[in-house]
Amino acid sequence: MAHQLENLNSFIQADSKDLTISSQALDNTGGEIHGLQSAVTINTRQQKLVNKTGKIRSKSMLMVNSGELNNINGAIHSEGDVVINAHGQLINNQQTKDKLHGILAKGKLKIDAGKLDNDQGAILANLAQLDVAQLENHLGIVQSGSDLSLNT
């Protein structure tokens, strides 16, 4: 695919400034994307983002604007807020039910998706809002430290 960023088993890091990635699609299979002291913004222009066995981490705000999101055995973690908009497409967060994987926001979490597959997955936040047409959560965890809003 033209204009696709591949970060396969590789590392992208911003030490002190915000990290912004904008591409037609992003394949971060086995890769790591880190904002050590900053925000991370990823925009795939509603195209696929693959984070299978990958890690996307931010010290503050983590924003993902994508199409389908494959986070199987992957990690999307922020010490601040996380906003994920899959534009009505699938977010696959399977096989992430341990401390190192899953979707984690120490602040607020907002997810917009057509379908959220969290089978054997983990979604953890201090405050969570999930706007999804369909949720599959077999043996998964969706947990909020305070308010949890689930709109299907």
Long-range contacts of 5-8 (CB under 8 A, 24+ apart): 7/31, 7/32, 7/33, 7/54
13 vs 108: CA distance, rounded Å: 23
Q: pLDDT, tens digit, for every residue of 57-99?
A: 999 999 999 999 999 999 999 999 999 999 999 999 999 998 8
What is the per-residue pLDDT across 113-142, written as a single tens digit (0 to 9) for each? 999 999 999 999 999 999 999 999 999 999
Residue extents of the structural domains in the chain: 4-151
E-state strands within the chain: 4-6, 11-14, 19-22, 25-27, 32-35, 40-43, 49-50, 55-58, 62-65, 69-70, 75-78, 82-85, 90-92, 102-117, 122-136, 141-144, 148-151
Tell me the one-letter amino acid at 101.
Answer: H
